[in-house]
């Protein structure tokens, strides 16, 4: 059993180091070292990673790497790739990386990934022959966020005459809006649910089934209009999906790590198998880098450690994901689940109370839209937050001048956060009153990631990079990043309240607020 993080020598050394350097500003760091950018940036394949605008020096990096070493990150990494059962509470291996390792097999019974890929390709081919015009993907959380991100990123390149739709919410307005205007004869539904028990997804599936049947189609037509992706195939067949149309997901692949699995069937249908394989290939290359690159060149490791530095020693409680590319508009939501559902925890692997903060709050929005949303706070609000800018060099469109406008905004924002603006600088430029209101504290940290071109391959690398950052953070925190007990209580209470609501039950056993709210609903529904 490992000692609590705060008691580790490397952690305590970092705490002292942070106190030593906390008075230094980013402006000073850059003024003192003209080579700062070279020291704190890395090029890797399609990417340039700039982490020079963190409040660090070379000693910081050395001490962060010492922390990783004291936490045996490399050993845990090797355990994950070897298929050891590191998912402590569910007694499972963690095998999303095996999904993109060509020819690998999981340590669990069932189909190999190559067999699953073959099934995906064959099913997609069969579906394409049936004249569907629309595919509706029913799933939520990790059974939707990744597939939706990838399909949307490359929607301009979809070539198979299919329109993709995603429904996740228990609020039936979402599915109603999607189904409105669709032709039931030409619509296929993918029910994506690892457990095939998520109430939202099953409720939407029932609405879809009724919609298909409403046109006095015989029960048999259900078989034509539904496929399923799940770790519980027996539940899918019991629901009415033919066995040949049920694709398996390994138990050892967590929902938020499952875009590489058969949950990506919609990607194969919408963008083609080559694109899906490119996504996998990119992720596999990042896996190789994570497993083999020396620590100081290991980008997932370095960025993970800098995440910890920001959260634990620079007190930035939130990480703001800012993709300056509409094709990545779903990336913040994806990373929110990946990071906060993995590491937003308060108990360590030994079951003790975590003595340090877990995951940062993760949120974000595409740029430049975010500049008109919460950038006032980012520049002058408190506490300061850490930003992650993601830009793409080659635009997904032909409007070069507008792309230059977009990227100049992204670069300017990171610069403004870092430099700020003193009262003297304000007044030197603008003698109007209330100059104090235009002072910017600056010294606000950020990473900037530049991608040469957004392709399924580079997106696969990026998503795998984030997975490994979450992994490293969880190991250093000594928590289990691969379960999600925190979602269970709400689910349980919701089931009870639903039963109460439908049975017109008494509210006396409920807290007064819930009871009163239920009563209000009943009076006005």
Quick note: the x/- pattern for ligand F6P over 330-369, rule CB under 6 A, is -----------x----------------------------
Nearer to ligand F6P, 394 or 491 (CB): 491
31, 393, 423, 487: which one binds ligand F6P (CB under 6 A): 487
Question: From the CB of 27, what's the least distance to ligand F6P, in Å?
Answer: 42
Number of amino acids touching ligand F6P (CB under 6 A): 14
Is there a catalytic annotation at residue 488? no
Which token pair is 248? 């398996």
Which of 476, 483, 465 is closest to 357 using CA atoms? 476
Which token pair is 33? 């070292």
State residue 159 phi and psi, 5-degree precision: -125, 15
Interacting positions 411-450 with ligand F6P (CB under 6 A): none
Buried b (16+ CB within 10 A) or exposed e, 476-514: bbbbbbbbbeeeeeeeeeeeebeebeeeeeebeebeeee
Nearer to ligand F6P, 167 or 449 (CB): 167
Which of 516, 485, 518, 482 is closest to 503 using CA atoms? 518
Interacting positions 113-172 with ligand F6P (CB under 6 A): 140-143
**Could you tell me if 443 and 25 are in contact, meaning their C-beta atoms sit under 8 angstroms apart?**
yes
Nearer to ligand F6P, 109 or 490 (CB): 490
Query: 159's torsion region: left (phi>0), alpha (psi -120 to 50) or beta?
Result: alpha
Among 288, 397, 399, 491, the active-site one is 491
Element (H, E) at 274: helix 273-292
Question: From the CB of 521, what's the least distance to ligand F6P, in Å?
Answer: 25
Nearer to ligand F6P, 178 or 253 (CB): 253
Nearer to ligand F6P, 142 or 147 (CB): 142
Which of 212, 190, 177 is closest to 144 using CA atoms? 190
Nearer to ligand F6P, 14 or 192 (CB): 192
Question: From the CB of 239, what's the least distance to ligand F6P, in Å?
Answer: 13
Is there a catalytic annotation at residue 220? no
Interacting positions 246-265 with ligand F6P (CB under 6 A): 255-256
Task: Count other C-beta atoms under 10 Å from residue 363's C-beta.
Answer: 17
Among 126, 288, 296, 372, the active-site one is 372
Question: From the CB of 232, what's the least distance to ligand F6P, in Å?
Answer: 9
d(CA 12, CA 309): 12
Question: From the CB of 168, what's the least distance to ligand F6P, in Å?
Answer: 9
Nearest to ligand F6P by Cβ — which residue?
A: 255
Which token pair is 405? 């406008």
Gyration radius from the chain CA atoms: 25
Among 200, 341, 365, 473, the active-site one is 341
Element (H, E) at 458: helix 456-477
What is the DSSP-derived secondary structure letter of residue 403?
H
Is there a catalytic annotation at residue 491? yes
Question: From the CB of 442, what's the least distance to ligand F6P, in Å?
Answer: 38
Question: From the CB of 411, what's the least distance to ligand F6P, in Å?
Answer: 35
Residue 154: helix, strand or coil by DSSP? coil
Binding flag, residue 36, ligand F6P (CB under 6 A):
no
Interacting positions 170-209 with ligand F6P (CB under 6 A): 193-195, 198, 201
DSSP secondary structure string for all residues of 85-99: --BTTTTB---TGGG
Peptide bond into 368 cis (omega under 30): yes
- Residues 183, 184, 190, 191: what is their CA dihedral angle, to the nearest 10 degrees? 130
Sites of contact with ligand F6P (CB under 6 A): 140-143, 193-195, 198, 201, 255-256, 341, 484, 487
Active site amino acids:
341, 372, 491
């Amino acid at each position: 059993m490992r000692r609590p993080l705060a008691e580790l020598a490397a952690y305590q050394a970092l705490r002292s180091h942070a106190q030593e350097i906390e008075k230094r500003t980013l402006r000073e760091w850059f003024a003192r070292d003209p080579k700062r950018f070279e020291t704190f940036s890395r090029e890797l394949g399609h990417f340039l990673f700039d982490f020079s605008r963190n409040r660090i020096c070379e000693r910081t990096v050395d001490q962060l790497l010492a922390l990783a070493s004291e936490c045996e990150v490399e050993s845990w990494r090797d355990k994950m790739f070897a298929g050891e059962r590191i998912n402590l509470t569910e007694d499972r291996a963690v095998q999303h990386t095996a999904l993109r390792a060509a020819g690998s097999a999981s340590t669990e019974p069932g189909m190999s990934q190559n067999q699953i890929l073959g099934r995906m390709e064959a099913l997609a081919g069969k579906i394409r022959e049936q004249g569907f015009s629309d595919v509706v993907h029913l799933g939520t959380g990790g059974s939707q966020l990744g597939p939706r991100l990838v399909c949307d990123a490359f929607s301009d390149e979809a070539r198979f005459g299919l329109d993709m739709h995603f429904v996740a919410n228990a609020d039936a307005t979402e599915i109603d809006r999607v189904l409105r205007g669709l032709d039931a004869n030409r619509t296929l539904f993918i029910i994506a649910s690892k457990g095939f028990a998520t109430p939202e997804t099953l409720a939407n599936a029932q609405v879809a089934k009724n919609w298909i049947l409403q046109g006095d189609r015989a029960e048999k037509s259900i078989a034509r209009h539904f496929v399923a992706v799940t770790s519980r195939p027996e539940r899918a067949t019991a629901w009415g999906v033919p066995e040949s149309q049920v694709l398996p997901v390994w138990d050892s692949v967590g929902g938020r790590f499952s875009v590489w699995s058969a949950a990506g069937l919609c990607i194969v249908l919408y963008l083609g198998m080559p694109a899906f394989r490119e996504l996998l290939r990119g992720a596999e290359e990042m896996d190789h880098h994570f497993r083999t690159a020396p620590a100081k060149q290991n980008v997932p490791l370095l960025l993970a450690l800098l995440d910890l530095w920001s959260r634990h020693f620079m007190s930035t409680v939130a990480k703001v994901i800012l993709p300056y590319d509409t094709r990545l508009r779903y990336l913040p939501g994806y990373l929110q689940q990946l990071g906060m559902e993995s590491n937003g925890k308060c108990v360590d692997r030994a079951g003790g109370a975590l003595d340090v903060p877990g995951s940062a709050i993760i949120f974000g929005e595409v740029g430049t839209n975010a500049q008109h949303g919460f950038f006032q706070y980012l520049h002058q609000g408190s506490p300061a937050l850490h930003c992650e800018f993601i830009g793409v060099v080659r635009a997904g469109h032909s409007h070069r001048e507008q792309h230059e406008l977009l990227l100049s905004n992204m670069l300017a924002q990171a610069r403004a956060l870092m430099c700020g603006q003193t009262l003297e600088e304000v007044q030197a430029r603008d003698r109007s009153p209330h100059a104090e209101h235009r002072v910017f504290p600056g010294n606000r940290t950020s990473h900037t990631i530049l991608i040469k071109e957004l392709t399924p391959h580079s997106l696969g690398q990026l998503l795998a990079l984030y997975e490994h950052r979450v992994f490293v953070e969880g190991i250093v925190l000594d928590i289990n990043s691969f379960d999600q007990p925190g979602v269970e209580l709400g689910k349980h209470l919701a089931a009870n309240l639903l039963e109460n609501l439908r049975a017109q039950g008494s509210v006396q056993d409920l807290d007064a607020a819930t009871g009163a709210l239920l009563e209000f609903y009943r009076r006005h529904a």
